[in-house]
Chain A
Amino acid sequence: MTLRDKTADETPRSWLRAVLYDATIRGWVFQGLVLLFIILFALWVIHNTAANLRAANIPFGFDFLNMRAGFDISQKPIDYTLDSSHAQAFKVGLLNTIIVSVLGIILATIIGFIVGISRLSSNWLLARAATVYVETLRNIPLLLQLLFWYKAVLSVLPGPRQGLMLPFSINLSNRGLTMPRPIVGEGFGLVMWALLVAVVAAWALARWARRRQAATGQSFPVIRASLGIVIGLPLVVFLILGAPLTFELPELKGFNFVGGMVVHPELTAMLLGISLYTATFIAETVRAGILAVSSGQSEAAFSLGLRPSQTMRLIVVPQAMRVIIPPLTSQYLNLTKNSSLALAIGYPDLVAVFAGSTLNITGHAIEVIAITMAVYLALSLITAALMNWFNARVALVER
């Protein structure tokens, strides 16, 4: 408390005056009142909801999560049977959402960067093709595109018995892409350790090469060497151990393939739709980022004798990244949230499984929707946090 005029006047009345007119105290009082109001409002909402639900004879609570789910889910990344609980169904749905989001983000980023750079290409055909792609796909609602891709994927592919046989027992039909499933034998863990060691070695090599180039100007074929280490080392360990890996081959039994791994057409359609759509926005972001780098930078690079590809990779893109990353984060968040459209084409994501089947079977609409919203919020915040960390790393360091 800062009572500035305490010495000037000692009467209780003026003491009160001083408190009333003190900006700090007044600030705290009003902040406190607002906070109190918000808390009371939240309590009122909760109390009112509970009272209304009670009045309507609808039970409220989260016990339903332990009840037997009893329905099947087509894509199960973890153990799930008909006897599993709704909580397990929730995990399956969440994992499916994460699978489609992560794969979608990777694909959309690759396509987006290629198309964005292509739009600036001096090759007329390439640039125009990229423009047509961007302008068409970003202007059609995503839901329509998903339905289109699902329809397209299903109608092009033959039934499982007439499926397209590809090498390595891979089969493509309207039931999905069926592949042999790897079964790891004893000692396979060592191969994974070898892979880890190789990755660390490749990282160290890249660091050393960069330092050497900075010091001496000599370049080193880092990419080729790293690839050699990352693939070679685990392969050598794998062969020494006597190849502890077998494959379970898919077999056509009755209606469908039994065994093996399968990529369902729903996932394929989701990935096609969601990544091609988001890639158009990423492409525009990339183009904007590259255009934001002053042309003097590339001119300077060319006059130093760098090739166009080197100029792009070493001079332009690193500077463009500063402009690209913040809007890129938004696109990643959009993609994750858009994955909830999956329920339209039968892909078992969180919304379809948990906010669909579970909600209907248990009738706990408020609890289920609240959990689902909390999950999307958490996924988005995690994505944003990761991207902010990355952004801080590539941000321009003023010297």
Chain B
Amino acid sequence: MRSNTLKTLLLGAAFVGAGAVAASAGTLDEVKAKGFVQCGVNGAGLAGFGAPDDAGNWTGLDVDACRAVAAAVFGDPSKVKFTGLSAKERFTALQSKEIDMLARNSTNTMSRDTQLGITFTGTNYYDGQGFMVKKALGVSSAKDLNGASVCVQSGTTTELNLADYFKSNGMTFNAVVFEKQEEADAAYDAGRCDAYTTDASGLYSIRLKMTNPDDSIVLPEIISKEPLGPAVRQGDDQWESIVRWTHYAMLIAEEFGVTQANVDEMKKSENPEVQRLLGVGEGVDFGTPIGLNKDWAYNVIKGVGNYGESFERNVGEGSPLKIARGLNALWSKGGLQYAPPIR
């Protein structure tokens, strides 16, 4: 059997052999005891979200989500270890406690949120599913794809959306399903399929990996809602709050112009919102109630920057992907990223 199946099996075996433990056991205490956050990220390497760079350091929007949590807990964004996971392994790895949090461009859906024993803590990237085709086919819309062969990765919401889209438009298709993203990429590149489908953000990153990136175009249609976000195990409210509010802290920092560079200066700010965020002032302490220090959010900004900085660095203008903010702009700028206030 393939190593992946074996891995799933071993993860399953963890449920069989492990002594019965209460699910509410404090993940934060365990993380503090071992001294690092174990974070599940994209094992195949999805540029912009989770992939090792030339020097072997993990970078990406999801990787930053992990580092931010490490910074909130330890005051040090480097106290994190990464586990590369396939789409198939990711939820089992979280359920079986192999990882403390999952940040692997995973779509939040009702069944995943309610039936898998996991909870999504927010949305760090609003995505949608799209198609990429070879230019030579002369196709300009997804509606022209009737009868096409489509390469897709198994075990993803993508696989299901694809079927729904063709069915609701009265079109037929032939899915060629691969377990790993690399294998699906290679098959599309070799001409096995007419079209390739995954989240739009992924399409741009995968197109760059093709032998001739210019031979492929991304079609304009977005056929689904794909809110990607980190997830934790169900039943540990404290840990869930930490991961959720770490993301909010990054959004609030962007909203009030707090950046990695000026965060020390901003500690002197008179703005009460900024003071509450950075834990400045007498009796201003939002960290202790969730088991952290009062300057937890300061550490997050100092360690990885605000959401906007992380976005631009990984997937925006500062990256090869050059994705526009679009839905991921702050609510005040016409996007969907909105954080409840710290107070």
Q: Is the CB of A256 within 8 A of B233?
A: no
CB neighbours of A345 from chain B (8 A): 178, 183
A304, chain B: closest CB distance, angstroms: 51
CB neighbours of A45 from chain B (8 A): 16-17
A218 adjacent to chain B (CB < 8 Å): no
Q: Is the CB of B88 within 8 A of A356?
A: yes
Q: Hey, what's the 0/1 contact readout for B275-292 against A, CB within 8 Å counting as 1?
A: 000000000000000000
A55-B21, A74-B174, A82-B167 in contact; A346/B183 too (CB < 8 A)? yes
Q: Is the CB of A57 within 8 A of B2?
A: no
Q: Hey, what's the 0/1 contact readout for A332-362 against B, CB within 8 Å counting as 1?
A: 0000010011011110100110011101110
B22 adjacent to chain A (CB < 8 Å): yes
Q: Hey, what's the 0/1 contact readout for B54-90 against A, CB within 8 Å counting as 1?
A: 0000000000000000000000000000000001100
Assembled-state Cα–Cα distance A87/B11 (Å): 24
One of A46-54, A107-115, A189-197, A308-316 at the interface: A46-54
Q: Is the CB of B191 within 8 A of A174?
A: yes
CB neighbours of A70 from chain B (8 A): 160, 163-164
CB contact between A48 and one of B19, B146, B186 (< 8 Å): that residue = B19
Q: Is the CB of B16 within 8 A of A56?
A: no
CB contact between B1 and one of A55, A266, A340, A365 (< 8 Å): that residue = A340
Residue of A nearest to B155 (CB): A360
Q: Is the CB of A357 within 8 A of B154?
A: yes
A151 adjacent to chain B (CB < 8 Å): yes
B234 adjacent to chain A (CB < 8 Å): yes
Q: Is the CB of B146 within 8 A of A151?
A: no
Q: Is the CB of A344 within 8 A of B183?
A: yes
CB contact between A56 and one of B146, B180, B234 (< 8 Å): that residue = B234
B110 adjacent to chain A (CB < 8 Å): no
B261 adjacent to chain A (CB < 8 Å): no
Near B by CB (< 8 A), chain A positions 45-102 give 45, 48-49, 51-53, 55-59, 70-74, 82
One of B41-49, B111-119, B244-252, B323-331 at the interface: B111-119
A44, chain B: closest CB distance, angstroms: 10
Near A by CB (< 8 A), chain B positions 111-136 give 111-112, 115-117
Residue of A nearest to B136 (CB): A159
CB neighbours of A82 from chain B (8 A): 163-164, 167
Q: Is the CB of B148 within 8 A of A357?
A: no
Q: Is the CB of B155 within 8 A of A359?
A: yes
CB neighbours of B175 from chain A (8 A): 71-74
Count residues of B near A (Cβ-Cβ below 8 Å): 60
Interface residues of B, dominant DSSP: mixed
Q: Is the CB of A56 within 8 A of B177?
A: no
A369 adjacent to chain B (CB < 8 Å): yes
Q: Is the CB of B23 within 8 A of A57?
A: yes
Residue of A nearest to B156 (CB): A360
Q: Is the CB of B15 within 8 A of A49?
A: yes
CB neighbours of A159 from chain B (8 A): 191
Among B17, B18, B190, residue most surrounded by chain A Cβ atoms (within 10 Å): B190
B256 adjacent to chain A (CB < 8 Å): no
CB neighbours of B149 from chain A (8 A): 175, 255-256
Among B11, B16, B21, residue most surrounded by chain A Cβ atoms (within 10 Å): B16
Q: Is the CB of B191 within 8 A of A154?
A: yes
Among A59, A357, A369, residue most surrounded by chain B Cβ atoms (within 10 Å): A357
Residues of A within 8 A of B (CB): 45, 48-49, 51-53, 55-59, 70-74, 82, 143, 150-151, 154-155, 159, 174-175, 253-256, 258, 265-266, 337, 340-341, 343-346, 348, 351-352, 355-357, 359-361, 363, 365-366, 369
Residues of B within 8 A of A (CB): 1-2, 5, 8-9, 11-12, 15-23, 87-88, 91-92, 95, 111-112, 115-117, 137, 145-149, 154-156, 159-160, 162-164, 167, 173-180, 183-184, 186-187, 190-192, 194, 233-235
Sorted nearest first, the 10 A-B pairs with minimum C-beta distance are A360-B155, A72-B175, A57-B117, A58-B117, A254-B147, A154-B190, A363-B116, A51-B20, A356-B154, A56-B117
